[in-house]
Amino acid sequence: MATECHLKLNLALRPAIAAAGEDPGTAMQEDRTGRSAPKQSLLGLNAINFFQAEMVGVLLPVLGVLLREHGWRYDSIGIATAAAGLGTLVMQTPAGVLCDRISSRRALFAACAIATGLCFAGVPLIAGHEKTVDAILFLSGAVQSFFAPLLAHWRWRLSDMSC
């Protein structure tokens, strides 16, 4: 059963991987079952994934520079950035379970994106308070742990997988 699921997942991901080299006039992409996923849905999913990753991948390195300019020591900066990773580590499994059980996944994704943005926007305002920044970065990491299961669920739904 697990091997069958892995095979189905590999086949489902092929259209997304091949989409970059595909004819732009194609309006639909077909998976192995013959069902089609609208190209607009796949592009939207890829855009969400890209901008969510940019929010995290670009802001965390800049955060170290910002905190250093506010007089933070390097060890304190390391603890602050590790707090974000710890938040993700602690919440990864509960986030996956919650994403499987909740029906309003779009609202959850929107709330998580807004909360992550607010956390990163609030850091420069409170950069002088180390414990508060650590707590906010932990919270942002915990909230970010919802992105992967939500995006995986939507990709799974687009490919009509059931195993």
Kindly state the average pLDDT of the residues 65-86.
Answer: 93
The residue whose two tokens read 């850091």 is 123
Q: What type of residue is 76?
A: S
Kindly state the average pLDDT of the residues 72-87.
Answer: 93
Better pLDDT: 98 or 26: 98
Instruction: Tell me the percentage of the chain whose pLDDT exceeds 70.
Output: 70
Q: CB–CB of 75/69 below 8 Å?
A: no
Partnered with residue 37 across adjacent β-strands are 29
131 pLDDT more than 90:
yes
CA 5: distance to chain centroid? 23
DSSP 8-state secondary structure symbol assigned to residue 26: -
Q: What tokens does 17 get?
A: 């991987």
Distance CA 112, CA 107 (A): 9
> pLDDT of 4-61, one tens digit each?
544 454 555 555 555 544 444 344 444 455 555 567 667 777 777 777 776 667 777 8
User: Residue 36: its pLDDT value, please?
Assistant: 56
User: Residue 57: its pLDDT value, please?
Assistant: 75
Q: Which range is least confidently modeled, 54-68, 74-88, 122-136, 139-153?
A: 54-68
Kindly state the average pLDDT of the residues 97-123.
Answer: 90
Chain mean pLDDT for the chain: 78
Q: How large is the C-alpha radius of gyration of the chain?
A: 19
Distance CA 124, CA 141 (A): 17
The residue whose two tokens read 């855009």 is 47
Strands (E), 26-133: 28-30, 36-38
Give 48's contacts (C-beta < 8 A, 6+ positions apart): 109, 151
The residue whose two tokens read 């956390």 is 119
For 16, 64, 124, the CA distances from 71, given in Å and listed in that order, are 45, 11, 12
